[in-house]
Amino acid sequence: MKILKGFTIRFFIFFVLLSSCKQEEYDPFQNIPKDYPILKEVLGNASKYQVQILYTQINRDVNNQPVFETFEFNLNDQTYFYPASTVKLPVAVLALEWLGEQNVRGLSKESMMVTDSVRTSQIPAFTDSTAANLMPSVAHYIKKILLVSDNDAYNRLYELLGQDYINEKLEGKGLKNTVINHRLSIPMSPEENRHFNPIRFFDFDGQEILEIPARETETVFSVSGKPDIGKSFMDGGKLVEQPMDFTFKNKYSLSDFHGTVMRLLFPEKFQSSERFDLSEEDRQFVLKYMSMLPGESDFPKYELPEYYDSYSKFFKFGTGKEPIPAQFRIFNKTGMAYGHLLDGAYFVDFENGVEFFVTAVIYVNENETLNDNQYEFDEVAFPFYSELGEYLYQIELKREKERKPDLNALRIEYDAKILE
């Protein structure tokens, strides 16, 4: 009996140890190979670079439906970072949702949208020289946002929707760690940013079909916790030796950013209340311009050498000037400001059946001074994205999958060429 009892105890201990080994979770961000020196350096100094990463692997079931498994590195949705131009993506999508709610005959994303001004801080927009018909529209603004991250285009849609609509809609969809409360690249007080321009829409015959008066919000949307960044900042050419306050700047957590991209690619995987309320035509419109390269656009026209393929495609391709091979498509949005570099993407390789989501933020500001344009983007941030994208791509190339995905639905016809 004593021998049996001892054997039973030893077997139990062995079973527990074996079970714990089996349950040990795979972590793709551990033991980065030396082939990725910048990635290894950044992940090894996560606090310095304030890096956060979300990576979602995709497996397909017998019906080609996706099954997700997400891995995170240093994720904390309460840790503030400046989201820069990434906030343009949800605002662009919400503009399409807003149009669909108006139920106005003749109103569409192609309708002419004329923005006026009633306050000295506001800027009107009566024409758009980059449009084929020289007229602004929601559709054309979205193109410019997704192709080259145009600031003015974002500001126009922000003025159309207003803070109340934007923030209430996003929170209602479960994107609860987001605050959008200002225009971009325009020095404007929080109070002025709560005022929105009058706007009119016209049909193609020049007949007015909808008028929206000047508006303002009484709600003060701000980032909780009084976040600040850095040790000093430049203001009007003068050094202010204190951290910069971001209480009235935009916030867009990494989880919300990652979730936005996933909602656009696979809306059926989310509850109806969490989805963007878009027609399939509008969803395809967004995906087209999220993945289009600048040189594939006719209107607006973006040409070399300024607008190379990876102009806004950081993962894997970094700042390389070579053409991106046609087998790849990256559905994404990027951001870059105050030492932060961000990218959120659905990455596809049609030739090898590779697909995955990845979203990341990195902060590179060695001297901890903001607005001095001395950030380590070229030395650290862009190489980090290039190596992270390549590293995850190689994982996906080698990862065994029970079924190869059918990605034909993502083969989109672009303006300047067709992806074969």
**233 found inside a domain:** yes
Is the pLDDT assigned to residue 346 strictly greater than 50?
yes
Pairwise pLDDT comparison (23 vs 390), residue with the higher score: 390
Return the higher-pLDDT residue of 391 and 414.
391
pLDDT at 20 > cutoff 90:
no
Per-residue pLDDT at 412: 86
Contact 344, 332 (CB under 8 A): yes
pLDDT band at residue 14, thresholds of 50, 70 and 90?
very low
Alpha carbon distance 252, 249 (integer Å): 10
- Residues linked to residue 50 through DSSP beta bridges, in sequence order: none
Give the single-character DSSP code of 399: S
Region 339-358: mean pLDDT is 97
Residue 108 covered by a domain: yes
Q: Is the pLDDT of residue 352 over 80?
A: yes
Closest CA to 227 of 410, 69, 81, 12: 81
Specify if 328 maps to a domain.
yes
Domain count along the chain: 1
Give the burial string for 36-65 (b: 16+ CB within 10 Å, else e).
Answer: bebbbbbbeeeeebbbbbbbbbbebeeeee
Indicate whether 8 belongs to any domain: no
Asked if residue 9 is part of any domain, the answer here is no
CATH code (residue 258): 3.40.710.10
**Per-residue pLDDT band at 24 (split at 50, 70, 90):** low
Calculate the CA dihedral of residues 278, 281, 284, 286 and round it to 10 degrees: -60
Average pLDDT value over all residues in the chain: 93
What residue has token string 């989310």? 270
Residue 326 in any domain: the answer is yes
Q: Hunting for tokens 């607008």 — which residue is that?
A: 307
Is residue 21, in this structure, part of any structural domain at all? no
Lowest mean pLDDT among 131-135, 182-186, 415-419: 415-419
Per-residue pLDDT tens over the stretch 152-202? 999 999 999 999 999 999 999 999 999 999 999 999 999 999 999 999 999
What pLDDT is recorded for position 300?
A: 92
Span 62-105, pLDDT tens digits: 999 999 999 999 999 999 999 999 999 999 999 999 999 999 99
Q: Which residue has the higher pLDDT, 22 or 368?
A: 368
Least confident of 22-36, 120-134, 279-293: 22-36
Q: What is the pLDDT of residue 415?
A: 61
Q: Which domain holds residue 275?
A: 29-410
* 278 within domain boundaries: yes
The confidence band for 213, taking pLDDT boundaries of 50, 70 and 90, is very high
